Amino acid sequence: MRLTALALLLVLPALRADEGMWTFDNLPIKKIQAKYGWAPGQAWLDHVRLAAVRFPGGSGSFVSKDGLVLTNHHVGHHWTQVVSDAQHDYVKNGFVAATRDQEIKVPGLALFTLLEMENVTDQIEKAVPAGADEQAAAKAKAAELAELVKEQGAKTGLDCQPVTLYQGGQVWIYRYKKHTDVRLVMSPEYGVAAFGKDWDNFSWPRHDLDFSLFRVYENGKPYAPAHHLAWTGKGVSYGDLTFTVGHPGNTSRLETLAQMEAKRDVTNPMAIRTLDRMRSSLHAFAALGEEQSRLVSDQLMGIENAYKVVVGETDGLRDKVAMARVAEAEKELRAKVEGDPKLKAAASSSWTKIEEAVAQLKVMAKEASLMGALRSETLGSAVSLHRYATEMQKPAEQRTPQYQDEKAFTALKTRLMAVKPTDAGQESFTLLNVMIGAQQELGAEHAITQMLLGGKTPEAATKELLSGSRLGDAALRKALVEGDPKAILEHSDPALVLARKLSPKLDEIRKRQQGFQSVVSENLTRIAKARFAVYGTSTYPDATFTLRLSYGAVETYPLSGTLAQPFTTFAGLYDRAAAWGPKAEEGSWELPARWVERRDKLNLFTPYNFISSNDIIGGNSGSPVVDKKGELVGLAFDGNIESNAGRYYFDARLNRCLSVDARAIVEALDKVYDAKHLVAELTRKN
Amino acid sequence: MRLTALALLLVLPALRADEGMWTFDNLPIKKIQAKYGWAPGQAWLDHVRLAAVRFPGGSGSFVSKDGLVLTNHHVGHHWTQVVSDAQHDYVKNGFVAATRDQEIKVPGLALFTLLEMENVTDQIEKAVPAGADEQAAAKAKAAELAELVKEQGAKTGLDCQPVTLYQGGQVWIYRYKKHTDVRLVMSPEYGVAAFGKDWDNFSWPRHDLDFSLFRVYENGKPYAPAHHLAWTGKGVSYGDLTFTVGHPGNTSRLETLAQMEAKRDVTNPMAIRTLDRMRSSLHAFAALGEEQSRLVSDQLMGIENAYKVVVGETDGLRDKVAMARVAEAEKELRAKVEGDPKLKAAASSSWTKIEEAVAQLKVMAKEASLMGALRSETLGSAVSLHRYATEMQKPAEQRTPQYQDEKAFTALKTRLMAVKPTDAGQESFTLLNVMIGAQQELGAEHAITQMLLGGKTPEAATKELLSGSRLGDAALRKALVEGDPKAILEHSDPALVLARKLSPKLDEIRKRQQGFQSVVSENLTRIAKARFAVYGTSTYPDATFTLRLSYGAVETYPLSGTLAQPFTTFAGLYDRAAAWGPKAEEGSWELPARWVERRDKLNLFTPYNFISSNDIIGGNSGSPVVDKKGELVGLAFDGNIESNAGRYYFDARLNRCLSVDARAIVEALDKVYDAKHLVAELTRKN
């Protein structure tokens, strides 16, 4: 990549800056039309929006009139695990319901479809009494919004959710239909859905059959959605216009340069080190045996993913060309703010204030990072219990709000009593990690390190704490929470003793951190408001895990000295499996038996995965990729490694969305899974 | 790549630093043995050395007892073009001699095999008379070496060539057998030999059938070499020990940090711009028609290649981790030099002197670069003629040595008279390039730019010069060279008029440049000598286009967020052909018709290309890759893009040698080319 990218760029076709995660009420129709000679109309937009589905943390779409829902295997991973047990590992071995009777109800899974959106900004603003100061105004607006949400919920029977866009520039209520009877229909084996395992995550060329199928039921019968996406007939080609419809989680494209630089130089490198320690210890734990490996596989996948994300982000923040563009945009906005007396008064000093607060946060970054590192169940619950006891010593009216609201207080106590079941081995790895992290980041001489280790080695300190503490005992926890809180403050359990020492120090750090963060946050809102005043809805709001549309095209990018191939095929899948063999790197490129056996049944040159220039980010996983006809041509499942800087900026040269080709899904269902009934349902013409 | 490389590294298997282009007399046997549990013995070494063959600019090997020679398609490209004509384009369409009668003699092609090597360092040193000063010593040594070469040539009948290693630390005479009757036997189509064309050059994963076969004849019969490499039986696997035997062209690994930094910051970026201008204009010329395209295809390929090399080098020079290692090595050597009074006196100040000279060269870099840019045949020959005439005005004894040696003088005059045939269109592109280059690099106000353009646009100036000059007329040239040189100095041909203006300026620049370069060169020799005194033959000498052996293993590297696959297969070739289709990017990934038709005859999962950690560089193209048994398992044809920094340092993390798998060659010969006779000859067991 690197320099070569620059070189290859010279001969690349004209760049297409398909930036933007657009809300459905505000699409750059003219821009799309001008560039692609076609733009969606209202019927098209309504159709794809109403076919879209929100999963927990991801996206999906209705793909049949009988409520069949398509999403990624990795979005469905957790839910497939939920319906698995020791005898039926549907994640590893895959699952196909041969009939509707066999479809498995997934407890706890709820899906949402966005039926209506209403801009309530004016209404909210009107609720502010004349002459109210800023704080009173905010309070009035919040109350009005809560009231509206409640009122609309009661009136429509829909799940109403407030949505703040443009950092407060617009307030909406999105009204969703909530589906709670969702059943697993089909899921391929993990080994082909995530071929190349963690190694291949974010890489391209890719060979992942990253899809799974669920079905929504209502009243015990398949749900009939008003809209579903028709399956493509001929598929998508190089250069074709594509749209993704999904729920990008969050972006920070409006952060200031000072914030991005602090991430690049201080907090991201630290996060990388922390993840690296966690990863190493989980790998070591997984190496102990098959059961240990199963226990942490999900967690490890999350960490490997987070690791690549933060490494990719950091890499992006180090890209001089792209960051110069970010700096340029900031300079332009600052100039416009300076040029407008009202904006100048409101936000001119905000960049400097953020810069100063960020400088302070950089100084205390290592200490602050330890907060999030208290992941040990034992130590974490001890600190929570200690905080509870301390709070209870105060007069009732001085306690934090959580203690003053009956419902919240009950919930808190329930949480404190709930003993999270953890494997003792895993817990010791986690705590050891905290100890080593303190030693390495803060140094042996730091007060926190000395409290944690008590002069011992990290291994000895961990062993002593875990063998001595009885906080994993549910009866003890119950007794502590229901008894006199003073007992907690005097208890001899070594975890509580340690929490007693640590807490004042942790509280002090937290308070300092929150102080600087509130300066950052307040000034960022001021900048955002100024930005909205200058640019309005000519731009798109930062992602908020609400429905967005991105447009783009199937398009190459400079990769490793050449141009990235726009598609892969099943032949590429088998090529890589053959290149590595089933044993290399712990079977990362080993194909499931069914795939080995049925190779010659497949048309090997069926398009499998493809890349496009759509602007997506985490949360978009499972987004349908649709063409001009509104037909489903693909299923977005990842970004390339270069797109990890997408949190901060969109780089048209390099950011690519990775999708499973719709043609591969039916080819596999047909030839590998003998699921002709599903092929028929997906490709049915109505 | 980039940051990710660092990340993935943490979980990579222990690094194997298989650095070194070793001479056959000085192999790190213990190191190889310790690492791989096996090391070559003398018989093995003699065998592979005597089977190795040197091509012009490349390498090869005997692969049958009947003198069959294997090299790369791109090493044979020029020679295949030589025996092609408008009716028979063997480069494009490929060539297979069905019988030996059909093998085509290649005029001008000579191959060399290295029979004997003799270290004559002592003998040369002894030739220095007692008390001789440095200059006298150098002269005496040169005379002695020339005498030895001549004497040995007469005695052995072999082609004897002096070889200076370790920047003067050792002097050898290498004795070669020269083969002048070489015939083309088989060459695949360019479209499969260089699949992905310029785009894929240096990239990985790769799918190039980059081989061709020649046969050496002697007295009209196939030559029977004493040694040839047996074809592998079972092939090579991931992790296997591999050796390359070939002729690395040149490396600059002993340059100082100051030199490398100057390349990184000044001269390489400038070279990139120059190549870029040349490339653009050649592309524009090629776009004019099929014949124009054919005319420049070779040159364009060379430029595209040079472009990627210099971009890759620059990229490598920007790699902070690797460059820190270079700096560390320099620091270590400097410390050792400081610690030894004799070495200190000889070389201590050399680094600073180089640094100062390099600083001066940086200042004049743009002017100096114009020298090499005078590629226009018209302007170049005018400048040469002017120089000749000027020189002839001096008294004979003051002329440069070339004019005082009868033979050299005759050769010079012949060159001056030889009109290089160029297409008028191409020449105008080249000259236009020189004009634009001056304008862009030196600026419109620079004296040279003003002389070149004479106040006109580059286009107008080019047109005027070329339409007015008659230097392309052989009769005129002959008359000028054979007549009174004064006529040249007074001639009204516009190219000669321009040369008259330019020459004093060019001479002045050249003189200044040579002054600084001689400081660099002298001090680099001093450092090299000190280095040899410190480390001796525990290291390997910089490459000198003489026979070397590199060892390594089939090994992955971190690539684009994942691990590079160690092999590709024919399935990968067809995957990429299908992914792009035959039309994309001017058919860069279009397969020849024969390959499309015969796809299903092939075993698609035959290993095709592979990567290994052998330390190679330009000149190694065509090197046989041999295993412990001395059998041929592959054919080196490229380095990955990351290895382009190999000129300056070997980066074990990333440098990889790319080879065609021997199994792919016989599979293709058998299934695609119906060349069963060649398969039989290659795999014959004797």
For residue range B300-312, what is the model confidence (pLDDT) as tens digits?
A: 878 888 888 888 8
Bridge partners for B187 per DSSP: B95
Contacts of residue B199 in chain A, CB cutoff 8 Å? 562-563
Omega prior to B225 cis, within 30 of 0: no
Bridge partners for B96 per DSSP: B186
pLDDT over 80 at B587, yes or no:
yes
Nearest to A202 among B10, B196, B561 (CB): B561
How many whole angstroms separate alpha carbon A186 and alpha carbon A326? 44
- From residue A275, alpha-carbon distances to A278, A311, A430, B498 in Å are 5, 10, 12, 66
Subunit contact A579:B568, Cβ cutoff 8 A? yes
Question: What b/e readout covers B134-163, taking b as 16+ CB neighbours within 10 angstroms?
Answer: eeeeeebbeebbeebbeebeeeeebbbeeb
Other C-beta atoms closer than 10 Å to the C-beta of A233 total 12
pLDDT over 50 at B118, yes or no:
yes
Contacts of residue A568 in chain B, CB cutoff 8 Å? 575, 579
Q: Which residues contact A229 (CB under 8 A, 6 or more apart)?
A: A48, A51, A61, A62, A63, A624, A626, A630, A631, A632
* pLDDT given for residue B268 in this prediction: 92
Subunit contact B567:A578, Cβ cutoff 8 A? yes
Phi, psi torsion values for A111, nearest 5 degrees: -115, 155
HSE-CB for B596 with a 13 A CA cutoff? 10
DSSP string, B142-198: HHHHHHHHHHHHHHH-SEEEEEEEGGGTEEEEEEEEEE-EEEEEEE--HHHHTTTHH
pLDDT over 50 at B1, yes or no:
no
Taking CA A660 as the corner, what is the angle to CA A654 and CA A662, rounded to the nearest 5 degrees? Answer: 130
Burial class (CB in 10 A: 0-12, 13-18, 19+), B489: middle
Q: Where are the alpha helices (DSSP H) in B341-423?
A: 341-347, 350-363, 365-373, 377-393, 401-404, 406-417
- From residue B429, alpha-carbon distances to A300, B292, B365, B370, B448 in Å are 59, 12, 24, 16, 19
Nearest to B574 among A7, A571, A579 (CB): A571
Token representation of residue A111: 């899906």
How many whole angstroms separate alpha carbon B252 and alpha carbon B356? 19
Nearest to B559 among A3, A560, A607 (CB): A560
Subunit contact B575:A578, Cβ cutoff 8 A? no
Subunit contact A1:B311, Cβ cutoff 8 A? no
Subunit contact B7:A311, Cβ cutoff 8 A? yes
Lowest mean pLDDT among A480-489, B332-341, B361-370: B361-370
Which candidate, A295, A264, A301, places its Cα nearest to that of A279?
A: A301
Max CA pair span of chain B: 76
Contacts of residue B571 in chain A, CB cutoff 8 Å? 571-572, 574-575, 578, 604
Subunit contact A3:B200, Cβ cutoff 8 A? no
Subunit contact A579:B567, Cβ cutoff 8 A? yes
Q: How confident is the model at residue B686 (pLDDT cuts 50, 70, 90)?
A: low
Residue A261 distance to chain B (closest CA, Å)? 16
Taking CA B467 as the corner, what is the angle to CA B465 and CA B468, rounded to the nearest 5 degrees? Answer: 65
Residue A516 distance to chain B (closest CA, Å)? 30
Nearest to B199 among A562, A569, A581 (CB): A562
Burial class (CB in 10 A: 0-12, 13-18, 19+), B399: middle
Residue A575 distance to chain B (closest CA, Å)? 5
Subunit contact B575:A581, Cβ cutoff 8 A? no
How many whole angstroms separate alpha carbon B225 and alpha carbon B207? 31
Subunit contact B200:A574, Cβ cutoff 8 A? no
* pLDDT given for residue B161 in this prediction: 97
Other C-beta atoms closer than 10 Å to the C-beta of B396 total 8
DSSP string, B326-341: HHHHHHHHHHHHHTSH
Q: Are B635 and B58 in contact (CB under 8 A)?
A: no
Contacts of residue A579 in chain B, CB cutoff 8 Å? 565-569, 572, 607
In the DSSP assignment, the letter for residue A634 is E
Subunit contact B308:A4, Cβ cutoff 8 A? yes
* pLDDT given for residue B428 in this prediction: 84
Subunit contact A10:B276, Cβ cutoff 8 A? yes
* pLDDT given for residue B373 in this prediction: 56
Nearest to A311 among B4, B200, B571 (CB): B4
Contacts of residue A606 in chain B, CB cutoff 8 Å? none
Nearest to B569 among A203, A559, A575 (CB): A575
> Any long-range contacts for B217-222 (C-beta under 8 Å, 24+ apart)?
B217/B67, B217/B105, B217/B181, B217/B182, B217/B183, B218/B67, B218/B179, B218/B181, B220/B181, B222/B66, B222/B67, B222/B100
Least CA distance to B581: which residue of chain A? A238
> Any long-range contacts for B477-483 (C-beta under 8 Å, 24+ apart)?
B477/B381, B477/B385, B477/B416, B477/B417, B477/B418, B477/B419, B478/B417, B480/B385, B480/B416, B481/B385, B481/B388, B481/B413, B481/B416, B481/B417, B482/B413, B482/B417
Contacts of residue A305 in chain B, CB cutoff 8 Å? none
Tell me the mean pLDDT in the region B94-116. Answer: 97
> Scanning the structure block, which residue is given the tokens 């729920």?
A247
pLDDT over 50 at B588, yes or no:
yes
> Scanning the structure block, which residue is given the tokens 């100051």?
B258
Residue A179 distance to chain B (closest CA, Å)? 37
Subunit contact B4:A566, Cβ cutoff 8 A? no
Subunit contact B314:A640, Cβ cutoff 8 A? no
**Conformational region of residue B107, where left means phi above 0, alpha means psi within -120 to 50, and beta covers everything else:** beta
Subunit contact B575:A579, Cβ cutoff 8 A? no
Contacts of residue A553 in chain B, CB cutoff 8 Å? none
Subunit contact B571:A568, Cβ cutoff 8 A? no
Nearest to B204 among A202, A272, A560 (CB): A560
Token representation of residue A668: 């596999």
How many whole angstroms separate alpha carbon A36 and alpha carbon B11? 45
Token representation of residue B590: 């279009």
Subunit contact A307:B560, Cβ cutoff 8 A? no
* pLDDT given for residue A10 in this prediction: 34
Taking CA A420 as the corner, what is the angle to CA A73 and CA A438, rounded to the nearest 5 degrees? Answer: 90
- From residue A477, alpha-carbon distances to A167, A408, A431, A541, B123 in Å are 42, 19, 20, 45, 90
Subunit contact B576:A565, Cβ cutoff 8 A? yes
Max CA pair span of chain A: 76
Q: Where are the alpha helices (DSSP H) in B169-289?
A: 190-193, 197-200, 257-262, 268-286
Q: Are B223 and B69 in contact (CB under 8 A)?
A: no
Contacts of residue B306 in chain A, CB cutoff 8 Å? none
* pLDDT given for residue A256 in this prediction: 94
SS3 letters across A334-379: HHHHHCCHHHHHHHCCHHHHHHHHHHHHHHCHHHHHHHHCCCCHHH
**Conformational region of residue A289, where left means phi above 0, alpha means psi within -120 to 50, and beta covers everything else:** left
Contacts of residue A202 in chain B, CB cutoff 8 Å? 561
pLDDT over 70 at B553, yes or no:
yes
Q: Which residues contact B98 (CB under 8 A, 6 or more apart)?
A: B675, B677
- C-alpha B245, offset from chain centre: 16
Residue A236 distance to chain B (closest CA, Å)? 12
Nearest to A571 among B3, B204, B571 (CB): B571
Q: Number of A:B CB contacts under 8 A? A: 156
Subunit contact B200:A7, Cβ cutoff 8 A? no
Q: Are A655 and A17 in contact (CB under 8 A)?
A: no
Subunit contact A605:B567, Cβ cutoff 8 A? no
Contacts of residue A572 in chain B, CB cutoff 8 Å? 571-572, 575-576, 579
Tell me if residue B424 falls in helix, strand or coil: helix
Other C-beta atoms closer than 10 Å to the C-beta of B611 total 28
Residues in chain B: 686
Subunit contact B572:A579, Cβ cutoff 8 A? yes
Residue A328 distance to chain B (closest CA, Å)? 25
Task: Give the residue, A286 or B613, on which the prediction is more confident.
Answer: B613
ipTM, two decimals, is 0.83
All residue ranges of chain A with pLDDT < 70 are: 1-16, 372-374, 421-424, 686
Tell me the mean pLDDT in the region B665-686. Answer: 96
How many whole angstroms separate alpha carbon B44 and alpha carbon B38? 12
Q: Are B93 and B192 in contact (CB under 8 A)?
A: no
Subunit contact B1:A560, Cβ cutoff 8 A? yes
Subunit contact A604:B571, Cβ cutoff 8 A? yes
* pLDDT given for residue B685 in this prediction: 84
Least CA distance to B195: which residue of chain A? A562
Which candidate, A602, A627, A603, A620, places its Cα nearest to that of A658?
A: A620
Residue A150 distance to chain B (closest CA, Å)? 47
Torsion, Cα A566 A635 A82 A305, to 10 degrees, reads: 40
Q: In what order do the strands lie in the sheet with B657-661?
A: B548-553, B241-246, B624-626, B632-639, B657-661, B607-612, B567-569
Residue B668 distance to chain A (closest CA, Å)? 17
Tell me which H or E stretch contains A174: strand A170-179
Tell me the mean pLDDT in the region B568-583. Answer: 97
* pLDDT given for residue B15 in this prediction: 35
Burial class (CB in 10 A: 0-12, 13-18, 19+), B406: exposed
Token representation of residue B413: 């005059």
Residues in chain A: 686
